[in-house]
Amino acid sequence: MALTIDEQLLLGLFDTCDSECIVVETISQLRGLCTEILGRRDQPVIGLTLSADANRPVLACSDVRALVGPGVPIYLIRADDLLQSMLELLGSRLALGRGAARVWWPGAHPRCDPGDHPAVLALEGEPSRVTLEEFAQQLDLSRPRVRGQIRLIEDARAFLEHELTRSQEQGHKLHERLRDAQIECHSLRIRAEVAEARLAGLDHPPKLDRS
């Protein structure tokens, strides 16, 4: 007997999701997920959606599980209307769009920096391994400890760039002062030479011809 589209979709989901992947199917479940994202917790939360060009998860849950390890909840949100509701509940900084995967680290709130909880969008036709590599990289770089170190490095670099700019400006000003001083010295030297020439003329007046 032929399978319906919904049955084929469910079979596809079972093939790509492990038993720990939680499928969000109702608004009540979505509200629970949003409460978990914004609540106090010690571990990240992972969100997956369906690919933009196919009815399959943008990343296989088993691949994501291998990245995050056991115990980290992985949610799959299939319906576009639920994704729209998530936008309304969490705001644009933390929402998740179709064809994307996201990690929400502890401390997420509607006004936070979205880069602290990065989302990776799978491009149309892009191999899933490429999307997985990008997600793994963003996952590593956004870890709270790593993020703190990166910010310290960025702050230090910004300070050094500021100091370098200030030093360059001071060097430019000193160069201008030196050039002005050199011009003034040259002018004074010429004036001194002219004055010396005049004094020499006074000390040795021209002899009158009495013939």
- With a CB cutoff of 8 Å and minimum separation 6, the contacts of 30 are 24, 77, 82, 85, 86, 89
Render the burial of 183-211: b for 16+ CB within 10 Å, e for the rest.
eeeeeeeeeeeeeeeeeeeeeeeeeeeee
pTM over 0.85: no
For 86-118, write each residue's pLDDT tens digit.
Answer: 999 999 999 999 999 999 999 999 999 999 999
Average pLDDT of span 123-131: 88
For 26-46, write each residue's pLDDT tens digit.
Answer: 999 999 999 999 999 999 999
50 DSSP 8-state letter: B
